[in-house]
Amino acid sequence: MVSTVVVNGRSALRLERRLPHDPEQVWAVVSTAERLGRWYPFPVAAFEARVGGRLAFDYEGGVIEATLTDFDPKRRVFAFDEHDLGGSEREFDDHVRVEVRAGEGGGSVVVLTHVPTDTSNAEGVEAGWRQCLDRLAAEMG
């Protein structure tokens, strides 16, 4: 399921994906550096799993720098602000939140919310996240 929502006054894309796996199993895949890099759009260069921790992704010969704004294993939520696009002159202030909920009747639901800096390519962004969630499902086996 895909919807457009407003987060802190900004347009955001929210995707939900049901998985037949236990929420704790899914959390282990979405919240660890090694496994996050297998489904996220970019390889993980650094991941300090704590609020205020550094998160960095390898990106086209540079690094996307981010800061974790939420990391709570009990709630199975983590979120981060991407604030530097590898030294690019382009303004960059994306927010991404990933939550793993228990699904009705078993399994889990991954809720991914992306508040982009640039909303002009919403269709492309949605397609990219769908591919990521497909890779997440494949990673779960």
The answer to whether the predicted template modeling score (pTM) of the entire model surpasses 0.85 is: yes
The residue type found at 38 is R
CATH number at residue 27: 3.30.530.20
Q: What is the mean pLDDT of residues 89-103?
A: 86
Q: Domain limits at 40?
A: 2-140
Once rounded to an integer, what is the mean pLDDT over residues 80-96? 75
Say if CB 118 and CB 10 are below 8 A apart. Answer: no
Give the pLDDT score at 84. 67
Q: What is the mean pLDDT of residues 56-76?
A: 92
Total domains in the chain come to: 1
Q: How far is CA 17 from CA 2, 50, 62, 67, 104, in A?
A: 9, 25, 30, 25, 13
Report d(CA 65, CA 92) in Å as an integer. Answer: 10
Task: Report residue 16's pLDDT band, with 50, 70 and 90 as the boundaries.
Answer: very high
